[in-house]
C-alpha cells in the first residue's frame, strides 16, 4: 500500500515539471507584465529598467524558469508581477479556500441528492419518476453554466431579490459573517450542483441497475429481508462505490475547473484568479495556480483509488 | 435411503403451478402445470436441461421472481396449511430463510462481495429471531464450523472472495440452514465446483438435512449428483414434469423417451466409450407458444402422429408417473435411441 502511494507520487513529479515548463513558456509568450509599464509615459525609463531587472524579466527565459523552479521547490512561490509585489501564496491560498468551499459543499449536496434520485430511478425503472428524472438530468447536464448561472441570477437576484448576484460578501462587509457568506454561496453552488446532481444520479442509476441484477440481491431477498433493507444494505452499499470515487475525482477537477462558474458569479476562487493572472501575464500566480490544480487532481485521484480499496474489499494494491 | 415416501408427511405440496415470464418476444409459459409433493426428510431432485423451468419453479415457490416480468397465473404451493401463492409480501418475508431457504449455484456471486460472510449469516438470524447482534454472530460462527469450515471464528470476518470454491458453497449452506428451515431448495449447488469438491459439498448438504430434519429440493442437470443424493426424481421438459420416479427406478427403468435420452447421454465409467458422446438431437420447443401435443415429439425417435396432436395423459404406475402415449413400450425407447446414436 505504502509502496503503491510512493510509486504514484514518483510518477507525478515529471508531470508537474512538464506542465510548469509549458505554462511558463506560453505565459511568457502570449502576455507581457512589463508591457503596461512600457506604454505608460508617466513612468520614467530608469524606474522601468529597475523593475524589469529586479524581477529578472531581462534574463533569458530558461534562467527565469529555473529561478522560479528553484524557489518553488523550496516553498517560495515568489511575488506577483502586477499586484504591487504582493506575496503569491496568500493570494492563491484565499482563492483556493473559496473554491474548495464551493466545491465541497456542492459535491456533498449533489452526492446526497444524486444518490437518492438515482437509486429511486433504478428501483422504479421505467416509471414516471424514472422518466422525469432522466429527462431532468439530461436538461440539467446540457445547459451550460453561463446560461443556467445567468438565469439563476435573473430569477433569484434581479426578479425576486432574494439572493446576491456576485462576490462572496456584500459590499462594505468587514470580516467573517456566516449568513452573508452562505447567501453568496447559494447561487454559484446551485449552478454547479445542477450539473453534478445530473451526473451523479445517472451514474448511481446505472450502477444500481447493475447491482440489482446481481445474484446476491436475490440471496438477500431469499433470506427474508425487507425490500428496503435489500436496497439499502445490499444494493446502495455496493452501487455507491463507483459514485463516491467519481465524486472524489471531481473535487480535484473542480479546484481548477470552475472558470466559467466563478466568472459568471465573480466568485474569487481559483478559476477567476487563473483568468486574471493569465490576462495580466502574472506568471508567478499563474504557475502557482496551475501547480496546485495539477496537484489537487493528482491527490484526489489517488484518494479515489484508495477510497475504492477501503469501500470494496475485493480490491487490494500490489 | 428409504423409498417409502408414501407414509411420510407431506411438507410442501405444489399443485398445477403455472408461471409466466414476460420477454421482448412474448409471454413465456416457463412453468406450465407442475405438481408434486415433497415429503418429510426426503431429497427430491428436479432434473432437466437448461431452460426447462426447474429454477423458475423453485423461484416461484418463494416468489423471488421479479414482479415486473413474472406472474404465477394458476395453481397453489401449500406449505402446511399455507398457500404461498396467496401470501402477502410481508408474509413471504417470514417464510423465506425461516421455513424455506435457498442455496444458489455460485456463492461467489450469490454472497454479497462487500459484506463479511459471518455478517451475512448473522443478518438473517437477527431479522427472524429475537437475539442480540453478538449472539447472532456467535451463531454464525457455530454454523460455519458445522459445515466444516476450519477456523470458523476467524473466517466469519472474511469476505467471500477470500474463500475457496468449496468453502464458499459450505458458507452458502451454513446460511441456508441457519434457521433450520423445513425445506431447503438447492439450485445447482455443485455446478460451479470442481468435481473433487462436489462430493464433499453434497456430503455436507446431506449431513445438514439429517441434523435439522429438513427436506431438500435438489435442482440439477447432473444425473450423477441425482444418483448419489436423491430419493425421488422429477424429470422436467419444456415447463412440465414428464416423469416422476424413485432415483433407483429412473436409472434402471426410465419410462419416458426423454428420460432414456438423458441417461443415454450420460457417459458411464462401466461401459466402453463409443467414439462420440451420445446426445439428444434438436432443441426444446419455444415456450411462448408451446405445441399442443407432446412437447418432446419433435425430438422423439418413437413419435407417431398422435404425439403431435394430443398431450399425453399422465399415467401413474405404482408411485411413479409418466406422460407419454407409449409408456407401456419402454424397450422401444432404448432400441430406438441406440439406433439413433449408431446412425
Q: Contact B124/A221, CB-based, under 8 Å? A: no
* Tally of structural domains, chain B: 2
Whether the CB-CB separation of B1 and B231 falls below 8 Å is answered with: yes
Q: Contact B114/A312, CB-based, under 8 Å? A: yes
Model confidence pLDDT, tens digit, residues B50-69: 888 888 999 999 998 888 88
Calculate the alpha carbon distances from A312 to A108, A219, A317, B152 in Å: 21, 19, 12, 22
Q: What are the chain A neighbours of B115 within 8 Å (beta carbons)?
A: 233-234, 237
Strand partners, B45: B218, B233
Q: What are the chain B neighbours of A225 within 8 Å (beta carbons)?
A: 93, 123-124, 127
| Grid cell listed for A262 | 466563478
| Distance in Å, alpha carbon of B247 to nearest chain A alpha carbon | 28
Whether the CB-CB separation of B258 and B300 falls below 8 Å is answered with: yes
Which residue from A222, A226, A238 is facing B114, i.e. has the nearest CB?
Answer: A238
3-state secondary structure (DSSP) of residue B235: strand
Whether the CB-CB separation of B281 and B341 falls below 8 Å is answered with: no
A46 close to B (CB below 8 A): no
Mean pLDDT on B192-207: 84
Task: State which residue of chain A sits closest to B59, comparing Cα positions.
Answer: A222
- What is d(CA B67, CA B194) in angstroms, rounded to the nearest whole number? 35
Strand partners, B234: B46, B244
Q: DSSP label at B298?
A: G
Mean pLDDT on A13-41: 77
Top-confidence residue, B220 or B263: B220
Which residue from A125, A216, A226 is facing B112, i.e. has the nearest CB?
Answer: A216
3-state secondary structure (DSSP) of residue B18: strand
Q: Give, in degrees to the nearest 5, the angle at Cα A129 between A128 and A135.
A: 90
Which residue from B68, B96, B159 is facing A223, i.e. has the nearest CB?
Answer: B96
Q: What is the pLDDT of residue B1?
A: 43
Residue owning grid cell 412440465: B240
Confidence of residue A115 (pLDDT cuts 50, 70, 90): very high
Top-confidence residue, A53 or B118: B118
Residue A212: how many CA atoms within 13 Å on its side-chain side? 21
- What is d(CA A287, CA A23) in angstroms, rounded to the nearest whole number? 7
Q: Contact A223/B175, CB-based, under 8 Å? A: yes
**Does residue B136 fall inside a structural domain?**
no
- Across chain A, mean pLDDT equals 83
Strands B314-317 and B320-323: antiparallel
Model confidence pLDDT, tens digit, residues B216-238: 999 988 888 888 889 999 999 88
Model confidence pLDDT, tens digit, residues A281-302: 777 888 888 888 888 888 888 8
Say what the ipTM of the complex is.
0.84
**Does residue B314 fall inside a structural domain?**
yes
Which residue from A218, A237, A313 is facing B64, i.e. has the nearest CB?
Answer: A218
Q: Give, in degrees to the nearest 5, the angle at Cα B336 between B333 and B342.
A: 140
From B131, B208, B132, select the one nearest B173 (Cα to Cα): B208
Q: What are the chain A neighbours of B102 within 8 Å (beta carbons)?
A: 219, 222
Same domain as B100, residue B46: yes
| Grid cell listed for B206 | 446431506
N- to C-terminal Cα distance for chain B? 39
**Does residue B140 fall inside a structural domain?**
no
- What is d(CA B180, CA A223) in angstroms, rounded to the nearest whole number? 12
Same domain as B15, residue B105: yes
Same domain as B326, residue B264: yes
**Does residue B134 fall inside a structural domain?**
no
Provide the total of helices (H) and of strands (E) in chain B, helices listed first. Answer: 13, 12
Q: Contact B161/A313, CB-based, under 8 Å? A: yes
Kindly report which listed range (A19-28, A156-165, B251-260) carries the lowest average pLDDT score: A156-165
Same domain as B194, residue B309: no
Same domain as B317, residue B177: no
- What is d(CA A178, CA A156) in angstroms, rounded to the nearest whole number? 20
- In DSSP notation, chain A reads -HHHHHHHHHHHHHHHHHHHHHHHHHHHHH--TTHHHHH-TTS-HHHHHHHHHHTTTTS-HHHHHHHHHHHHHTT---B-SSSTT-BHHHHHHHHHHHHHHHHHHHHHHHHHHHHHHHHHHHHTTTSHHHHHHHHHHHHHHHS-HHHHHHHHIIIIIIIS--S--SSSS-TT--S--HHHHHHHHHHHHHHHHHHHHHHHHHHHHHHHHHHHTSHHHHHHHHTT--HHHIIIIIIIHHHHHHHHHHHHHHHHHHHHH-HHHHHHTT--SHHHHHHHHHHHT-HHHHHHHHHHHHHHHHHHHHHHHHHHHHH-TT----
A124 close to B (CB below 8 A): no
Mean pLDDT on B131-142: 92
| Grid cell listed for A299 | 491527490
Whether the CB-CB separation of A163 and A157 falls below 8 Å is answered with: yes
Same domain as B205, residue B58: yes
**Does residue B184 fall inside a structural domain?**
yes
- In A221-250, the residues whose Cβ lies within 8 Å of chain B are 221-227, 229, 233-234, 237-238, 241
Whether the CB-CB separation of A239 and A203 falls below 8 Å is answered with: no
- In B53-72, the residues whose Cβ lies within 8 Å of chain A are 62, 64, 68
Calculate the alpha carbon distances from A257 to A170, A294, B214, B281 in Å: 25, 11, 63, 63
- In B110-169, the residues whose Cβ lies within 8 Å of chain A are 110-115, 123-124, 127-128, 159, 161
CATH number belonging to domain A88-311: 1.10.3720.10
Q: Contact B64/A226, CB-based, under 8 Å? A: no
Same domain as B282, residue B226: no
- What is d(CA A177, CA B225) in angstroms, rounded to the nearest whole number? 75
Same domain as B332, residue B231: no
Whether the CB-CB separation of B59 and B65 falls below 8 Å is answered with: yes
**Does residue B45 fall inside a structural domain?**
yes
Whether the CB-CB separation of B100 and B182 falls below 8 Å is answered with: yes
- In the predicted model, is pLDDT for residue A34 greater than 80? no
From B214, B226, B157, B156, select the one nearest B190 (Cα to Cα): B226
| Distance in Å, alpha carbon of A216 to nearest chain B alpha carbon | 4
Same domain as B26, residue B52: yes
Q: Contact B93/A219, CB-based, under 8 Å? A: no
From A165, A167, A145, A168, select the one nearest A155 (Cα to Cα): A165
Confidence of residue A223 (pLDDT cuts 50, 70, 90): very high
Q: What are the chain B neighbours of A222 within 8 Å (beta carbons)?
A: 62, 64, 96-97, 101-102, 104
Q: What is the pLDDT of residue A29?
A: 75
pLDDT exceeding 90 applies to what percent of chain A?
A: 17
Q: Taking the CB of residue A280, how many other CB atoms lie within 10 A of it?
A: 19
Whether the CB-CB separation of B174 and B121 falls below 8 Å is answered with: yes
| Grid cell listed for B322 | 409418466
A313 close to B (CB below 8 A): yes
**Does residue B243 fall inside a structural domain?**
no
| Grid cell listed for A81 | 508581477
Same domain as B264, residue B225: no
Same domain as B338, residue B266: yes
Q: Where are the domains of chain A?
A: 88-311
Strands B215-220 and B43-47: parallel
From B324, B270, B321, select the one nearest B296 (Cα to Cα): B324
Domain end marker among B188, B205, B237: B237
Which of A124, A125, A130, A216 is the best residue to mutate to test the B interface, defined by the most B CB atoms within 10 Å of its own CB?
A216
Q: What is the pLDDT of residue B4?
A: 55
Measured in whole angstroms, the distance separating CA A274 from the mean position of its chain's CA atoms is 13
- In the predicted model, is pLDDT for residue B32 greater than 80? yes
**Does residue B179 fall inside a structural domain?**
yes
Same domain as B92, residue B173: yes
Q: Contact A313/B114, CB-based, under 8 Å? A: yes
Q: Contact A215/B104, CB-based, under 8 Å? A: yes
Sign of CA dihedral A111, A113, A116, A120: negative
Q: Contact B109/A221, CB-based, under 8 Å? A: no
N- to C-terminal Cα distance for chain A? 7
Confidence of residue B343 (pLDDT cuts 50, 70, 90): very low
Calculate the alpha carbon distances from A156 to A109, A298, B317 in Å: 20, 37, 83
Q: What is the pLDDT of residue B140?
A: 93
Whether the CB-CB separation of B34 and B77 falls below 8 Å is answered with: no
- In the predicted model, is pLDDT for residue A94 greater than 90? no
| Grid cell listed for A64 | 527565469
Q: What are the chain B neighbours of A220 within 8 Å (beta carbons)?
A: 112
Q: What are the chain A neighbours of B124 within 8 Å (beta carbons)?
A: 223-225
The domain of B272 spans 255-342
Q: Contact B161/A220, CB-based, under 8 Å? A: no
**CATH assignment of the domain containing B72:** 3.40.50.300
Mean pLDDT on A186-202: 89
- In the predicted model, is pLDDT for residue A118 greater than 90? yes
Q: What are the chain A neighbours of B159 within 8 Å (beta carbons)?
A: 313-314
Amino acid at each position: 500500500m505504502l509502496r503503491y502511494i510512493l510509486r504514484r507520487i514518483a510518477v507525478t513529479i515529471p508531470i508537474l515539471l512538464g506542465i510548469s515548463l509549458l505554462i511558463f513558456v506560453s505565459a511568457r509568450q502570449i502576455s507581457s507584465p512589463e508591457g503596461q509599464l512600457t506604454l505608460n509615459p508617466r513612468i520614467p525609463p530608469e524606474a522601468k529598467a529597475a523593475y524589469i531587472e529586479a524581477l529578472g524579466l531581462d534574463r533569458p527565459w530558461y534562467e527565469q524558469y529555473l529561478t522560479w523552479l528553484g524557489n518553488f521547490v523550496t516553498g517560495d512561490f515568489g511575488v506577483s508581477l502586477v499586484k504591487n509585489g504582493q506575496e503569491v501564496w496568500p493570494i492563491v491560498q484565499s482563492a483556493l479556500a473559496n473554491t474548495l468551499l464551493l466545491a465541497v459543499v456542492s459535491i456533498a449536496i449533489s452526492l446526497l441528492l444524486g444518490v437518492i434520485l438515482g437509486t429511486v430511478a433504478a428501483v422504479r425503472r421505467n416509471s414516471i419518476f424514472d422518466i422525469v428524472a432522466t429527462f431532468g438530468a439530461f436538461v440539467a447536464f446540457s445547459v451550460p453554466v453561463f446560461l443556467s448561472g445567468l438565469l439563476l441570477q435573473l430569477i433569484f437576484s434581479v426578479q425576486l431579490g432574494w439572493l446576491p448576484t456576485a462576490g462572496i460578501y456584500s459590499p462594505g462587509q468587514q470580516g467573517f459573517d456566516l449568513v452573508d457568506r452562505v447567501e453568496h454561496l447559494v447561487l454559484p453552488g446551485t449552478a454547479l450542483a445542477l450539473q453534478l446532481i445530473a451526473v451523479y444520479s445517472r451514474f448511481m442509476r446505472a450502477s444500481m441497475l447493475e447491482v440489482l441484477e446481481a445474484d446476491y440481491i436475490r440471496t438477500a431477498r431469499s433470506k427474508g429481508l425487507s425490500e428496503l433493507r435489500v436496497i439499502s444494505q445490499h444494493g446502495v452499499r455496493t452501487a455507491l462505490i463507483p459514485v463516491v470515487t467519481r465524486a472524489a475525482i471531481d473535487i480535484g477537477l473542480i479546484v481548477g475547473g470552475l472558470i466559467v462558474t466563478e466568472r459568471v458569479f465573480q466568485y474569487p476562487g481559483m478559476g477567476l484568479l487563473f483568468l486574471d493572472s493569465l490576462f495580466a501575464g502574472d506568471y508567478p500566480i499563474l504557475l502557482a495556480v496551475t501547480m496546485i490544480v495539477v496537484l489537487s487532481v493528482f491527490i484526489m485521484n489517488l484518494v479515489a483509488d484508495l477510497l475504492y480499496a477501503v469501500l470494496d474489499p475485493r480490491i487490494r494494491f500490489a | 435411503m428409504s423409498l417409502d415416501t408414501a407414509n411420510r408427511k407431506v411438507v410442501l405440496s405444489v399443485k398445477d403451478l403455472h408461471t409466466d415470464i414476460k420477454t421482448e418476444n412474448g409471454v413465456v409459459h416457463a412453468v406450465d402445470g407442475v405438481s408434486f409433493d415433497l415429503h418429510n426428510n426426503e431429497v427430491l431432485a428436479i432434473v432437466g436441461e437448461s431452460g426447462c423451468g426447474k429454477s423458475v419453479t423453485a423461484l416461484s415457490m418463494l416468489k423471488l421472481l421479479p414482479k415486473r416480468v413474472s406472474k404465477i397465473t394458476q395453481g397453489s404451493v401449500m406449505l402446511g396449511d399455507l398457500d404461498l401463492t396467496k401470501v402477502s409480501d410481508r408474509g413471504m418475508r417470514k417464510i423465506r430463510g425461516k421455513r424455506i431457504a435457498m442455496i444458489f449455484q455460485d456463492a461467489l456471486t450469490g454472497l454479497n462481495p462487500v459484506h463479511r460472510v459471518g455478517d451475512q449469516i448473522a443478518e438473517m438470524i437477527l431479522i427472524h429471531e429475537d437475539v442480540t447482534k453478538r449472539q447472532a454472530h456467535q451463531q454464525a460462527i457455530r454454523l460455519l464450523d458445522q459445515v466444516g469450515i476450519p477456523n470458523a471464528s476467524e473466517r466469519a470476518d472474511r469476505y467471500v472472495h477470500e474463500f475457496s470454491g468449496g468453502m464458499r458453497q459450505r458458507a452458502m449452506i451454513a446460511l441456508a440452514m441457519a434457521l433450520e428451515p423445513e425445506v431447503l431448495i438447492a439450485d445447482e449447488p455443485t455446478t460451479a465446483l470442481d468435481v473433487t469438491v462436489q462430493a464433499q459439498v453434497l456430503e455436507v448438504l446431506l449431513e445438514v438435512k439429517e441434523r435439522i430434519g429438513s427436506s431438500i429440493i435438489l435442482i440439477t442437470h447432473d444425473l450423477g449428483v441425482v444418483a448419489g443424493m436423491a430419493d425421488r426424481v422429477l424429470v422436467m421438459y419444456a415447463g412440465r414434469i414428464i416423469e416422476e420416479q424413485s432415483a433407483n427406478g429412473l436409472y434402471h427403468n426410465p419410462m419416458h423417451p426423454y428420460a432414456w435420452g438423458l441417461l443415454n447421454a450420460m457417459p458411464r465409467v462401466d461401459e466402453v466409450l463409443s467414439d462420440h458422446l451420445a446426445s439428444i438431437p434438436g432443441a426444446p420447443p419455444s415456450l411462448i407458444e408451446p405445441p399442443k401435443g407432446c412437447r418432446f415429439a419433435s425430438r422423439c425417435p418413437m413419435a407417431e402422429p398422435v404425439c403431435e396432436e394430443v398431450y399425453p395423459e399422465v399415467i401413474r404406475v405404482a408411485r411413479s408417473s409418466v406422460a407419454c402415449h407409449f409408456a407401456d413400450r419402454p424397450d422401444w425407447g432404448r432400441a430406438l435411441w441406440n439406433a439413433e446414436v449408431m446412425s
